[in-house]
């Protein structure tokens, strides 16, 4: 797909109740570029499903296998499961611009650097720390994974997946863990 390709919202992809707002009415279309922005920056589920439904589940499994993501399960369209190991590999390749290549990876990093909310990995890091991350939420599930750029020029990949937890405590845990990792890997650099 190209950024200007239009995708039409079908009823199965309409998650406006979860999102809390409507990005487009059923039967109307948005360009891929807008859907990517909404999915990554705003964590909009409708946009994510609209894009996802353009790729068959069998194709998703093949893409994951081709990229070496062996621990993740993409067999259920509504219930993907990923592992921290696969997320670490994903973000490491992305940071090196070797996931899909610089032409695609850099714009994705730019979107991830603006993703909302900022209440986990970046929450407690020093002001101005560059972070490209993606959160995930479901009832009792609070996740975040991404890249932290350290002042010494190194990068730190953080992937934290939680379930069956108090959501506020999980957000706090991810923020504190990220700060501890930042401080550990940046020690002696100040």
SS (H, E, C) 85-149: HHHHHHHHHHHCCCCCCHHHHHHHHHHHCCCCCCCCCCCCCCCCCCEEEEEEEECCEEEEEEEEE
Question: How much is the pLDDT for 77?
Answer: 66
Whether the full predicted model's pTM is greater than 0.85, yes or no, is yes
The H or E element containing residue 40 is helix 32-41
Each residue's pLDDT tens digit, 96-114: 999 999 999 999 999 999 9
pLDDT at 12: 93
Q: What is the pLDDT of residues 20-40, one digit of tens each?
A: 999 999 999 999 999 999 999
Q: What domains, with CATH codes, occur in the chain?
A: 1-54 (no CATH), 73-186 (3.40.710.10)
pLDDT truncated to tens, each residue of the chain (190 aa)? Answer: 889 999 999 999 999 998 999 999 999 999 999 999 999 999 999 999 999 899 877 788 888 888 899 998 877 766 778 999 999 999 999 999 999 999 999 999 999 999 999 999 999 999 999 999 999 988 889 999 999 999 999 999 999 999 999 999 999 999 999 999 999 999 865 5
Query: 113-133 b/e with 16+ CB inside 10 Å = b?
Result: bebeeebbbbbbbeeebebbb
């Amino acid at each position: 797909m190209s950024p200007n390709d239009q995708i039409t919202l079908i009823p199965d992809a309409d998650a406006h109740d979860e999102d809390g707002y409507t990005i487009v009415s059923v039967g109307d279309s948005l360009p891929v570029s807008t859907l990517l922005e909404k999915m990554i920056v705003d964590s909009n589920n409708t946009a994510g499903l609209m894009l996802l439904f353009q790729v068959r589940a069998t194709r998703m499994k093949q893409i994951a296998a081709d990229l070496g993501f062996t621990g993740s399960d993409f067999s259920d369209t509504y219930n993907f499961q990923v592992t921290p190991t696969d997320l670490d590999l994903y973000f490491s390749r992305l940071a090196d611009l070797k996931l899909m290549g610089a032409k695609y990876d850099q714009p994705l990093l730019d979107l991830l650097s603006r993703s909302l909310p900022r209440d986990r990995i970046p929450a407690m890091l020093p002001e101005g720390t560059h972070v490209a991350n993606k959160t995930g939420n479901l009832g009792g599930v609070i996740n975040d994974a991404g890249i932290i750029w350290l002042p010494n020029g190194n990068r730190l990949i953080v992937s934290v997946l939680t379930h069956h937890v108090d959501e506020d405590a999980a957000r706090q845990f991810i923020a504190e863990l990220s700060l501890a990792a930042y401080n550990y890997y940046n020690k002696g650099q100040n």
